[in-house]
Amino acid sequence: MMDVLEEGQKSLIHKFIQKGDIVLDTAQAGEWGRHVLQNVPGVQFHRFDGHHMTLEDYCRVKGMHRINFLRVNAGEEEFKILSGTWVLLKKGNIDFV
């Protein structure tokens, strides 16, 4: 399989995501998520599509009080997803976007 991630993306993953972190990815299944799962042992990885609930609701349902790393890569849906994070951002419950 051809590696489609750029070195900058890999560097960011290795620098900012650590074992035990909660990582939430808004993109559909892809190389970025696979790279995180294969290279950061013990990470809690979630995919969020934003179609049926806000990110705040998703976190509440999953019992998540903090997101260590939020990757927003949803094309035209990015504003909708980010608008559903207002309370989490205001409280400082998202470490890195």
**What's the one-letter identity of residue 15?**
K
pLDDT at position 56 is: 92
Per-residue model confidence as pLDDT tens digits over 26-39:
877 688 999 999 99
pLDDT at position 77 is: 75
Instruction: Kindly state the average pLDDT of the residues 86-94.
Output: 92
Note the maximum CA span of the chain: 41
Per-residue model confidence as pLDDT tens digits over 49-72:
877 888 999 999 999 999 999 998
Question: Nearest CA to 28 among 49, 6, 3, 9?
Answer: 49
Which residues lie below 8 Å from residue 14, measured CB to CB, with a gap of 6+? 39, 40
